[in-house]
Amino acid sequence: MRATPIAPECFERLCVGDNLYDNGNDNREEQRLSKVKKIVWRAIDSELTPNQRELLTEHYFNNKTMTEIARERGINKSTVSRSIKSSREKIGFAIKNYSLRLFAEED
């Protein structure tokens, strides 16, 4: 089952940025964001292949373009793009599944 990939800008904010929401210092939202970040990192560690983790790291954390990554690895840019998209799909699927359980604990 394919999931909708998490949007690149949202993924970047979840992993790198300080705040996904621009609504002040709402403690409940900060707690939710913290839970979602934990889900993202858990998914990166457990759901992705080593190659997918490496490509995500290169692209999002080392700020390399897909073209640069492809050139360095001697692979096609579309291969890099598909792998990163697949990774975001897996992470989006994990967020959808795990967040239901975590947020249910709040109630």
Count of CB atoms situated within 10 Å of the CB of 60: 18
**Structure token digits, residue 78:** 């579309």
**Which of the four pLDDT bands, split at 50, 70 and 90, describes residue 82?**
very high
pLDDT exceeds 60 at position 2: no
- 21 or 75: which carries more pLDDT confidence? 75
pLDDT at 69 over 90: yes
pLDDT in tens, 16-64: 554 444 445 568 778 877 877 888 888 889 999 999 999 998 998 888 9
Residue with token string 């967020």: 95
Q: Are 35 and 99 in contact (CB under 8 A)?
A: yes
Lowest-confidence segment of 3-7, 11-15, 55-59, 61-65 by average pLDDT? 3-7
Q: Which pTM value belongs to this model?
A: 0.70
Do 91 and 6 form a contact (C-beta atoms < 8 A)?
yes
